[in-house]
Amino acid sequence: MRPFRSTRGEERSFLASSFEPNGDGYAFYRHHLARGVPVTAEEREAYLNPPLDGSRRAFFEAIRGREASLPRRPWLRSERATLAGIPAPFGLGLIVVGAGLLWRGLAVDEPWRWLPIAAGALGSAYGLLILAVRLLPPPGAAAPPLTPDEKQIKCRRFE
C-alpha cells in the first residue's frame, strides 16, 4: 500500500477548494469562515501552480489590501469541497484506525473506556464522510447522458 502522500493532481484539487467561480473571475476563501476575495483566473492559476519552493507569498502579496467583499460560503458547501480534496486512501486509513480504536476500547477498564471508543467512532465517521464525498455524486448533479443503446432500452421498457 502506498504511503499517504498526495500526488500533484490531488494537491491541486485540494487547493482548488479555496476558490469558487464568481462572474468572470473567482472568489478566494482563505478558510471556510472567511469572506471571499475577488481574484482573476490568472491569479488563481498562480496560486494552484506554486514555484518550486512551494511558497505562495506572491499570491498573498497580490491580493493584500483587497476588500473581502464577497459573502461567506455556506458551511456544508465548503466542508464538502475540503473533503473532496482529501485522498480516498486517507479516508480508508481513518476507518481502519478508528475500527482498531473501537476494538481496543472494548478491552479497556471502565473509567477510560469512553476515550478510545469516542476517538474510534469519530475517526471512522470522518473516514466514511471522506469516502462518501469522494465516491458519491454531489447533490443536484445531473445524471450522465444516456448512450443510444440505453435510450432504446428505456423506450422499450415503456412500450
Q: List, for residues 18-58, the tens digit of each pLDDT value.
A: 888 888 889 888 877 788 899 998 888 888 887 656 667 77
Q: Which of 101, 133, 127, 125 is nearest to 115 (CA)?
A: 101
Q: Please tell me the predicted confidence (pLDDT) of residue 121.
A: 93
Residues in the chain: 159
- pTM (global) more than 0.75: no
159: pLDDT strictly greater than 50: no
Q: Which of 50, 22, 59, 49 is nearest to 38 (CA)?
A: 22
Q: Where are the beta strands (DSSP E) in 30-127?
A: 37-39
